[in-house]
Structure 1
């Protein structure tokens, strides 16, 4: 366990700085084993609270592509442990992957957005003294899938975090 004190969530610059060695590592254009990608990302992001990076295989991801998810664990945070997890999602067929220069910029933006989103959740939970937020209750009569989606996206914490992601994406797109 890495011992450190978090007084404030990492800033965008902190995230970019922590990501820099990882981005250099994947910038070769060469095929890189998925486990090496996972291990390098985990090592480089430990300093900003990432506890674990895992690999997930999916039939819904195209060969040569990578998706990702992240999660914040308020219980680990409250207990002083690293509190973020990242899933790297690859095609079931991929064993290695190479990143193009355009792909690198996309990966950088997505990782920063993903971590900023989770940092917002960190601030929300810390600001409430680690209490859960009240749940959003969608109207009755919806399918289970739609109900779960609305419960998730109707949550005030998620609205705030996704608003930040949307604003960041709009800024990136307007700069082009």
Structure 2
């Protein structure tokens, strides 16, 4: 939309207008409609009146106010419908994501290695430093993918560890 990088602040209102007036997949409605209860009037419709603009301009003010009130009463229904569509959309995304998830197969009592992600300021081994620490013993598996670990001497870790940071250790 712009020829150089200095023009982008002038283009932001147009980008926001496009975002607010385009239909979202999750809600099946425009953000503008969900906030204001009516579709936005496009700038083109002011130059070349559309059927909607012509019909609204010929309606008496009392009837227009009553129609606007009725549409606002129905807005809560539309917002609940949008919320319902968002929940369905999130379930669809969750199902698609969970198809790719591989179960770890880690049980209580298994030996595991833990990923080393702590960044030391300078490690003299460089790229040859170890990526895994352990082995550790799985003491308890908590809900949500968390695990309580102990080292082989029986000392418990103070914080739980995420299952994503573990892999099974085979002695």
| TM, length-normalised to structure 2 | 0.24
Instruction: Tell me: higher relative CO, structure 1 or 2? Use CA pairs within 8 A at least 6 residues apart.
Output: 1
Larger Rg: 2
